[in-house]
Amino acid sequence: MNSAQILVVDDEQEIRDLVEEILEDEGYRVRTAQDGASAREAMRAHVPDLVLLDIWMPDVDGVTLLKEWTDGGGPACPVVMMSGHGTVETAVEATRLGAWDFIEKPLSMPKLLLTVERALESGRPGTPQPLAGARGEPAAEPVGKSAVMRQLRDDARRIAAHDTRVLLRGEAGAGKRCLARYIHDHSPRREGPFIELSAGSLGERGVGDLFGIDRNGQPAPGALELARGGTLYLADVCELDAELQGQLLSVLKSGRFQRQGGAEVLDLDVRLIAGTRLELADAVRAGRFREDFYYYLDVVPLAVPALREHVEDVPELLHYYVNCLVERDGLSYREFTVAAQNRLRNHSWPGNVRELENLVQRLLIMGEGEKIEVAEVEAALAEERRSGNAAEGLSADLHLELPLREAREAFERRYLQEQLRRAQGSVGQLARLTGMERTHLYRKLKALGIDPRERA
C-alpha cells in the first residue's frame, strides 16, 4: 500500500521535512501543512489516505482540528496524532474523537513506519481504534537490581508520597524522565495526567507552551493546564529562559495563572518535577539561573546515577530494552549472548541508559540472526567511536587541499559535531555555544547531515 497519500501536519519545518523524506523513501506520496489553516485547505482540496497531525500548532491545536473533522461523523481517513507533550489523557480524548493512534516525539522512525502501515491497512475507521497511549504503557520503573538502583527507587517512593517539588539531577540520558514518571505513578496524583515539557525546546512560544494561549476567545491549553490534577515534568530546566523563570516562579508561588492573551484566571493544581543535567548552583553563580527560582526548586533534590556507576545492571537493561523495542516498534527479537553482555558491562557508557537503548535499537534493526554476538557488539561500538571521533582534532585537519566551499563545509560539520558533543545533544545549549539562531541552526545541521538526536 506504499502508493498511499499521506498528509503531514506539523508547525516545525524540520520535522515536516524529515517525515516527508522518510515516507517518500518508503514509496508513499506526501503532502505537508504547516498549521491548522493550511491543513484545512489541504483536506478540502483532497482527502488523503492518512493524516499525521501534530497536537501543538500556532493557530489551532490538533485536537480542536480533529474535532472539526469529526463533526461530519468521523474523520474521512485515519488520523494519527503526534506530540512531544503526549499524555494518556490526551490520547484518550483523541481516541474519543476518532483518532486512530497516538505517537510521541521525538519520533521513533521504526514505530512511525509501523503505525503508518497499520493505519493504512485499517482504512477508514468505523469504530475508532484504541490508541497506544490510551491502552497505557507499563508503569515506568528505573531498571536495575544493584544497591544504588534499589536505593533510588526507595527514595523515589518516599518522595512520591509528599506533594512537594522535586529536582532531579543527572547526566544526559541517565533516566531522569523515567524517574519522574515513577514518582508520579507512586504519588496520590497517579490518576492525573503526566505532562513532559523540555525547557530547551521552548523558544518564542514558550509562554504559550507553558501557560496556554487565548486567541479571540478560542483557548488552547498549555502544559500547566494540561497537567491539572497531575504532574508536570520540566526537563532541562537549566535551559529555561530567564524571563520565563521569573514568570513561572510567580505562578508557582501564587497558585494562579492566565493564558497568554486571555483574561480568565485559572487555579494551579500541578506537582512540578524539574530535571537538570547541569549543577544549578553553578549556573546561579555564573548568572545564568535565578537564585530565587533555584532555591524554590531545590526542596527535595534527588541524584540519578550515571550508568557507569551501576554497570552490573547492564544485562537486565539489555533484556528490558530488547523486549520493549520488540513490543513497541515491532522489531524482530534477538538475544545478547553472555559474552556480548559481559563486553557491554565493561563499556564506559558516556551516553548512559539512552546510549544503551539506542545501541539495542540499532542492533535489532541492522543485525540478523537470533543471537547478538560479541563481534557484532564490537563493530557497533567501533562505529560509535568513529562517529564520536569525527569531531576530534578539529584544528588538525583543515582540508586545505579542497575548494573553499567544500573546505568550509568540512570545517562547519566538524565544528558543530564537537559543539554538539559538548552540549550533550541539546540543540538549545548548542545554539548558545555557537551563537546561532535556532531555526538557522536546525537548517544548518540538516544541510550538513548532522542529526542531533544521535547525541541526545
pLDDT digits (tens, 9 = 90+) for 238-292: 888 888 999 999 999 999 999 888 888 999 999 999 999 989 999 999 898 999 9
Cβ neighbors of 83 (< 8 A, separation 6 or more) are: 54, 55, 56, 62, 90, 102, 104, 105
Percent of the chain with pLDDT over 70: 82
The grid coordinates of residue 134 equal 490510551
Give the CATH fold of the 5-135 domain.
Rossmann fold (3.40.50)
Domain 147-303 belongs to what architecture?
A: 3-Layer(aba) Sandwich (3.40)
Q: Residue 418 corresponds to which amino acid? A: E
To the nearest whole number, what is the mean pLDDT of the chain?
A: 82
pTM: 0.62
pLDDT given for residue 107 in this prediction? 78
Q: 424 near 455, Cβ under 8 Å?
A: yes
pLDDT given for residue 456 in this prediction? 44
| Averaged pLDDT for residues 230-237 | 92
Parse the chain into domains and list their residue ranges: 5-135, 147-303, 307-389, 404-454
Domain 307-389 has CATH 2.40.30.10: no
Which ranges of 164-241 does DSSP label H, i.e. alpha helix?
Answer: 176-185, 206-211, 223-226
Q: Which of 44, 45, 49 has the alpha carbon at shortest distance from 8?
A: 49
| Averaged pLDDT for residues 15-19 | 88
Cβ neighbors of 295 (< 8 A, separation 6 or more) are: none
Cα separation, 70 vs 50, in Å, equals 15
Cα separation, 114 vs 396, in Å, equals 44
Q: Which residue shows C-alpha cell 491548522? A: 36
User: 356-360, 393-397, 400-404 — which one is most confidently predicted on average?
Assistant: 356-360
Q: Which of 180, 165, 196 has the alpha carbon at shortest distance from 296?
A: 165
φ/ψ (deg, to 5) at 417: -65, -40
Cβ neighbors of 442 (< 8 A, separation 6 or more) are: 13, 14, 427
Helix (H) or strand (E) holding 111: helix 109-122
* Number of other residues whose CB lies within 10 A of the CB of residue 330: 14
Does pLDDT of 10 surpass 50?
A: yes
* CATH topology agreement for domains 5-135 and 147-303: yes
For 377-386, write each residue's pLDDT tens digit.
Answer: 999 888 777 6
User: 393 vs 279, which has greater pLDDT?
Assistant: 279
Give the CATH fold of the 404-454 domain.
Arc Repressor Mutant, subunit A (1.10.10)
Which residues lie across from 6 on neighbouring strands? Answer: 30, 50
Q: Which residue shows C-alpha cell 506537582? A: 271
Q: Which of 184, 142, 139, 143 has the alpha carbon at shortest distance from 160?
A: 184
For 310-323, write each residue's pLDDT tens digit.
Answer: 999 999 999 999 99
Cα separation, 383 vs 21, in Å, equals 24
User: 438 vs 64, which has greater pLDDT?
Assistant: 64
User: 341 vs 214, which has greater pLDDT?
Assistant: 341
Burial of 333 (0-12, 13-18, 19+ CB in 10 A): exposed
User: 106-110, 315-319, 440-444 — which one is most confidently predicted on average?
Assistant: 315-319
Helix (H) or strand (E) holding 38: helix 36-45
